[in-house]
Amino acid sequence: MRARLGAAIPKFLRVRLRRLWLSFVPILQCALAAGLAWWIAADVVHHERPFFAPIAAVVSLGLSLAKRWRRSVELIGGVLIGIIVGDIGISILGSGAWQIAVVVAVAMSVAVFLDRGVMIPIQASSSAVLIATLIPPGAGSFGRAIDALIGGGVGLLVVALVPVNPARRARRDAAEILLILRNLSADLAFALRLEDEEGIYRVLATARGTQGAIDSLRAGVTAGREVSRLSPLYWSSRRRIERIGATADPIDNAVRNFRVICRRALGVTQRGVAVEQEIIGIVDDLQLGFETLRAMMMAEPGDSPDQADAARVIRSIVRKARTSLADGVEDLSEAAMLVELRSLLVDMLMVTGLKRSSAIAQLHRTQ
């Protein structure tokens, strides 16, 4: 029923609804943080116009789940630099166009000198401009700094008390990439059997379009690590997020190797050479390997398949990818394709938790 309902929704609308669903918790966090920051600044600290407190809370959080602690520190640091430079500069130089240019240049220079963050010089310059134009220099101007502290602190508090599951997004992103590779393996094997040059090219084009998913995986791992450190609710998830994080590089390398395999396959087909059936069979078997890895990634702790189950499946494919298959191959690209398949299998074994040296040792047994 759910699948039929999803298929009935136009693709463009499905994509937007999914994006909204994935952003629901960050939006909720920003909304709660903004309201709480305003209440603290207005009703507890009694600032007359604490507009910057909710702004700081939202900016420090944002929709990106990664590096929120860093964003908060950059925001607060930039505001403090801008206020100090603006106060001193305007007090000495007075106000005017060239004075604004000077304090902005000095504030940004100090920010860049102290830290490489992108947000610090932006906040430093904007705070310096406010001091130079709207907020008179003096003790009152430091209310903006207090609001920045309130907003940034509230943002981190909301992350700790209303967190995103640190493992869920990362493992979902990893599973999505593995699902794509599973489907592309089936498409590539089918195209190779038909010697379909256009089909292979479509597989390659799709594989090249996975970089966004890989970037999302890495961001999800970074965000998961941050949440597992900040939120007491998920301190117990640290080990799990580290295991998921350890798969990011092997999955990235697997995608890269798969692209190379596609390019080799395309070159062979363009020259009118039929790839050996044994090699096509290995490509076809990758479906089972990637599907098992995907299921492993989504399985709850203690459920099947686990890392050992997935490693057994990949080893069964490794045994077929013996180097002796290249003995009767005349086309160098076809032989190179087998080499890349073996490298891909190393990446897949590493996704199951094996170290690179152990994964390579598995291949050495199948010469």
pLDDT of amino acid 161:
74
Delimiting residues of CATH 1.20.58.220 domain(s) in the chain: 168-364
Output the pLDDT for position 163.
Answer: 63
pLDDT for position 138: 56
Spatial separation of the C-alpha atoms in residues 116 and 74, rounded to whole Å: 10
Handedness of CA 341, 344, 349, 352 (dihedral sign): negative
The pLDDT value given to residue 300: 81
Token output for 202? 């479509």
Per-residue model confidence (pLDDT) at position 329: 61
**CB distance 121 to 112 below 8 Å:** yes
**Given this model, what pLDDT does residue 287 score?**
94
Contacts 24+ apart (CB under 8 A), 48-52: 50/143, 50/147, 50/150, 51/147, 52/79, 52/144, 52/147, 52/148, 52/151
CATH architecture of structural domain 168-364: Up-down Bundle (1.20)
User: What per-residue confidence (pLDDT) applies to 3?
Assistant: 47
pTM, two decimal places = 0.69
Phi-psi label, residue 142: left if phi above 0, alpha if psi -120 to 50, beta otherwise: alpha
Gap between the Cα atoms of 94 and 99, Å rounded: 7
Single out the residue of 178, 204, 188 nearest to residue 289, CA to CA: 178
pLDDT of the residue at 336: 81
Q: What is the pLDDT of residue 69?
A: 66
Compute the C-alpha angle 37/40/46, nearest 5°: 125
Low-confidence ranges of the chain (pLDDT < 70): 1-8, 22, 62-69, 135-142, 162-167, 230, 233-234, 323-331, 366-367
pLDDT of 233 reads 67
Cα 305 → chain centroid: 25
